[in-house]
């Protein structure tokens, strides 16, 4: 019997209790979806004293790491032209003057810090070099560090946070963050598209980059502008989280209103809700409007970027929605609505949202989509190989393994606490039905010893009683044994072959001998959501279209539908948050229509077919590929392309769409898709950088069946109408 099968036979408790791998000072719930208790406030730490470093402006002196690279050079040039005070940069092994920008180049961050006195640094290096670059900036005591790279290994970020929590000089934003921008001071540290920002009064805290750009554009159109925009990023271990960014905006005198952009994954939005509750109790009156992405695609898989997934012990996006609504935060369906909603709130309009808007955010949002059916199985690496590596890890740490399913087992799991940005140990006890709890900590050189002592005490419950042994109680487990257990399980988290699983070791009351040594009775392996499109991903993807997309670094997968739903909308977007929100908004529109039709209209047969996020790879060639992947799905009757031009220009997207359609309609094949699908109509919504040029290119292309919009809701209406009216029998399958 394989270890996976053996583990399945092990009797597992319903709910775990948890304790940390660091010194405990306060117990805090690791939220469960059934929990109604608000998280307690965070205790102050050395690192929490650095949040004021986020208040950048005209005074901020900005450094670049990776300065001579192509991306950093282009980014710095644009920031300088906008008004950012860039003072120079670092390129290891080089010194002198940047040949394009004419600014100083130094060989190390320490040299640059001494010579240039920077207040902030933008890290533009590869993912595998990012952690070392952050650590170098922390050692140089630079006040603000922004890391933009995606797919930084979690083991590297755990190491970074071990460093950050012990100091009070440096604040990190990222990794996987678009950065931070202060339009009032013309200061950008990151890569946000500058054209959508304008000096003003709205502060933005966002997990999603593209959605934050949409919100910025919306508030600019409304004449409000922005004071500060913090892109906290989409990773599990964010240097600055939603709650911390919100706290800065609520305290900032230049910020008169706040826009929050959250999504599924983690509990940051719940902590933000509790912070808002306390802010209101203390008399705070700033209007706060929120958007939550991922309501319609919740599943135990990564939705585009590393942190966007739902875990069973964390709140669903719907729970976050209710928590924010309960404290009076207005929620919008789409970011383009943000500007006008905030404007009305600032004008003390008593009716902030129409009745129809309220419906779309409440009961109708979920009509037509069963979230439980959204848990799409994600292929993983070979389980047999994982089993072997796990058992070898136990052997290396002198822990014995002897399978025995005859008794009730405790389970021990090492996992990541997103809020505390560290590893925690989860102990599952048979018959115990309490919520998991994490433990806040204060750093000290004795943290590891205290953690091991706490774990030793917890495992002491496993000692055989005197009646079992016929004598006195067996001794407590030795601390060195517990330390080996922690070390073995932490190795599993850091092993690049094993970190796509969470391993739970099972021990029972017969697993501790008279000397306190530990005997593992079994284990189970639970797949962890990973990003299949990430570089060096070892994930085995079974779906051929999804696998092909992943080879190009693009996240694409099908969504489940009912058998009768054959008039589907294929969707394509350039950003995980934008794609999640697009699906949410389409579900809301379909829900409204179904209710209005009394369940008897053609809308019953319409659904959303897929999730597709091109990320920053939305070139003409990749757009052509993406269109072909979508059209391989026989359910698709219309394709809805929703692009916000930030880094990627709107005219480039338009060129890719025109090229793909012309190839198909002239008899060519796009990604294996021949002329049989050429008649599928295309609805395109383009906003952002060079939006007018992109819209004009499509309008003047002479292609039939292409509908171009700048307003999202009009585009969504058209997509639903086209899907509803599609003739199934006329489509070549």
Query: Can you give the pLDDT at residue 576?
Result: 86
Do 239 and 229 contact (CB within 8 A), yes or no? no
Q: Is residue 197 part of a domain?
A: no
User: Please, what is the end-to-end C-alpha distance for the chain in angstroms?
Assistant: 44
**142: pLDDT strictly greater than 90:** yes
Q: How confident is the model at residue 652 (pLDDT cuts 50, 70, 90)?
A: confident
Q: Is residue 90 part of a domain?
A: no
Q: Is residue 372 part of a domain?
A: no
Q: Where are the alpha helices (DSSP H) in 177-229?
A: 209-221
- Do 503 and 557 share a domain, yes or no? no
Q: How confident is the model at residue 552 (pLDDT cuts 50, 70, 90)?
A: confident
Distances in whole angstroms, Cα of residue 622 to Cα of each of 227, 303, 551, 553, 662 = 35, 19, 12, 10, 15
Q: Is residue 32 part of a domain?
A: no
The structure tokens listed for 61 are: 């002196």
- Do 522 and 629 share a domain, yes or no? no
Q: Is residue 500 part of a domain?
A: yes
Q: Which helix (H) or strand (E) holds 592?
A: helix 576-596
Q: How confident is the model at residue 378 (pLDDT cuts 50, 70, 90)?
A: very low
- Do 428 and 568 share a domain, yes or no? no
CA 18 – CA 475 distance, rounded (Å): 23
**403 contacts: CB under 8 Å, gap ≥ 6:** 6, 521, 522
- Do 557 and 470 share a domain, yes or no? no
Q: Is residue 78 part of a domain?
A: no
Last residue of some domain: 527, 555, 583? 527
- Do 559 and 678 share a domain, yes or no? yes
Q: Which residue has the higher pLDDT, 320 or 351?
A: 320
Selection from 3-12, 454-463, 485-494 with the highest mean pLDDT = 485-494
- Do 566 and 431 share a domain, yes or no? no
Average pLDDT, the chain: 78
Q: What is the pLDDT of residues 531-546, one digit of tens each?
A: 554 555 555 567 888 8
Q: Is residue 538 part of a domain?
A: no
Query: Can you give the pLDDT at residue 313?
Result: 44
Single out the catalytic residue among 31, 98, 305, 352: 305
> CA angle at residue 155 from 298 to 378, to 5 degrees?
30
- Mean pLDDT of the region 589-599: 88
- Mean pLDDT of the region 246-250: 98
Q: How confident is the model at residue 176 (pLDDT cuts 50, 70, 90)?
A: very high
Q: Is residue 332 part of a domain?
A: no
**694 contacts: CB under 8 Å, gap ≥ 6:** 643, 645, 649, 650, 651, 652, 653, 654, 686
**561: pLDDT strictly greater than 80:** yes
Total domain count for the chain?
2
- Do 569 and 675 share a domain, yes or no? yes
- Do 435 and 567 share a domain, yes or no? no
Q: How confident is the model at residue 357 (pLDDT cuts 50, 70, 90)?
A: very low
Q: Which residues pair with 260 in a beta bridge?
A: 205, 290
DSSP string, 649-661: -HHHHHHHHHHHH
Last residue of some domain: 477, 498, 527? 527
Q: Which residue has the higher pLDDT, 173 or 315?
A: 173
* 126-135, 205-214, 462-471, 677-686: the lowest-pLDDT one: 462-471
Q: Give the domain CATH number at 695.
A: 3.40.50.261
Q: Which domain holds residue 561?
A: 545-728
305 in catalytic set: yes
- Do 571 and 514 share a domain, yes or no? no
Q: How confident is the model at residue 647 (pLDDT cuts 50, 70, 90)?
A: confident
- Mean pLDDT of the region 593-609: 87
- Do 497 and 623 share a domain, yes or no? no
Query: Can you give the pLDDT at residue 424?
Result: 73
Q: What is the pLDDT of residues 52-87, one digit of tens each?
A: 999 999 999 999 999 999 999 999 999 999 999 999
- Do 479 and 579 share a domain, yes or no? no
Q: How confident is the model at residue 516 (pLDDT cuts 50, 70, 90)?
A: low
- Do 550 and 500 share a domain, yes or no? no
Last residue of some domain: 495, 527, 559? 527
């Amino acid at each position: 019997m394989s270890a996976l099968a053996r583990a399945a036979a092990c009797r597992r408790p319903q709910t775990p209790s948890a304790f940390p791998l660091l010194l405990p000072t306060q117990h805090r719930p690791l939220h469960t979806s059934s929990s109604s208790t608000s998280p307690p406030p965070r205790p102050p730490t050395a690192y929490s004293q650095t949040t004021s470093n986020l208040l950048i402006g005209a005074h901020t002196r900005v450094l670049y790491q990776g300065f001579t690279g192509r991306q950093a050079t282009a980014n710095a040039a644009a920031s300088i032209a906008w008004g950012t005070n860039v003072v120079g940069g670092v390129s290891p092994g080089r010194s002198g003057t940047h040949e394009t920008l004419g600014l100083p180049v130094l060989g190390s961050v320490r040299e640059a810090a001494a010579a240039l006195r920077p207040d902030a640094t933008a890290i533009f290096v590869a993912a595998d070099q990012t952690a070392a670059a952050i650590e170098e900036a922390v050692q140089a005591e630079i006040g603000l560090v922004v890391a933009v790279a995606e797919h930084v290994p979690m083991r590297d970020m755990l190491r970074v946070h071990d460093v950050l929590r012990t100091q009070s000089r440096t604040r990190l934003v990222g990794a996987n963050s678009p950065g931070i921008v202060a339009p009032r001071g013309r200061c950008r540290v990151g890569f946000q598209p500058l054209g959508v920002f304008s000096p003003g009064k709205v502060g933005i805290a966002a997990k999603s980059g593209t959605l934050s750009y949409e919100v910025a554009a919306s508030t600019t159109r409304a004449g409000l502008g922005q004071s500060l925009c913090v892109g906290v990023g989409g990773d599990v271990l964010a240097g600055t989280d939603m709650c911390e960014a919100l706290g800065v905006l609520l305290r900032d005198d230049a910020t008169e209103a706040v826009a929050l952009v959250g999504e599924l994954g983690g509990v940051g939005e719940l902590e933000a809700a509790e912070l808002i509750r306390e802010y209101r109790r203390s008399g705070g009156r700033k209007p706060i409007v929120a958007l939550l992405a991922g309501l319609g695609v919740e599943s135990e898989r990564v939705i585009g970027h590393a942190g966007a997934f739902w875990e069973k012990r964390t709140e669903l996006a719907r729970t976050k929605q209710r928590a924010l609504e309960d404290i009076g935060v207005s929620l919008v369906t789409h970011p383009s609505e943000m500007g006008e909603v905030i404007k009305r709130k600032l004008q003390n309009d008593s009716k902030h949202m129409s009745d129809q808007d309220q419906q779309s955010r409440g009961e109708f949002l979920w009509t037509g989509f069963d979230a439980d059916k959204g848990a799409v199985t994600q292929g993983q690496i070979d389980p047999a190989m994982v089993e072997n590596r796990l058992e070898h890890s136990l052997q290396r740490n002198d822990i014995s393994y002897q399978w025995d399913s005859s008794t009730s087992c405790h389970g021990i799991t090492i996992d990541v606490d997103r809020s505390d940005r560290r590893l925690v140990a989860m102990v599952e006890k048979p018959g115990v039905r309490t919520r998991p709890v994490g433990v806040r900590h204060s750093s000290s050189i004795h943290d590891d010893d205290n953690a091991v002592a706490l774990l030793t005490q917890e495992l002491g419950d496993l000692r055989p009683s005197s009646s079992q042994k016929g004598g006195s109680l067996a001794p407590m487990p030795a601390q060195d044994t517990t330390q080996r257990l922690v070390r073995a399980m932490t190795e599993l988290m850091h092993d690049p072959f094993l970190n796509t699983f969470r391993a739970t070791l099972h021990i029972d009351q017969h697993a501790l001998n008279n000397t306190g040594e530990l005997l593992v009775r079994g284990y189970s392996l639970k797949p962890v959501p990973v990003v299949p499109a990430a570089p060096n991903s070892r994930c085995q993807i079974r779906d051929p279209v999804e696998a092909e997309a992943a080879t190009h670094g693009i996240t694409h997968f099908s969504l489940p539908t009912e058998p009768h739903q054959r008039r589907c909308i294929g969707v394509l977007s350039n950003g995980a948050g934008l794609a999640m929100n697009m699906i949410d908004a389409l579900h809301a529109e379909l829900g409204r229509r179904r209710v209005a039709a009394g369940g008897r209209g053609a809308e019953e047969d319409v659904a959303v077919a897929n999730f597709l996020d091109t990320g920053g790879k939305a070139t003409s060639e990749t757009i052509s590929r993406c269109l072909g992947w979508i059209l391989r799905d026989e359910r698709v009757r219309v394709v809805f392309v929703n692009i916000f031009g930030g880094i990627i220009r709107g005219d480039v997207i338009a060129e890719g769409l025109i090229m793909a359609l012309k190839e198909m309609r002239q008899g060519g094949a796009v990604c294996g898709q021949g002329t049989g699908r050429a008649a599928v109509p295309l609805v395109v919504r383009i906003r952002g950088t060079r939006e007018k040029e992109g819209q004009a290119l499509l309008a003047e292309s002479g292609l039939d069946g292409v509908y171009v919009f700048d307003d999202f809701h009009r585009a969504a209406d058209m997509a639903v109408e086209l899907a509803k009216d599609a003739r199934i029998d006329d489509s070549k399958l």
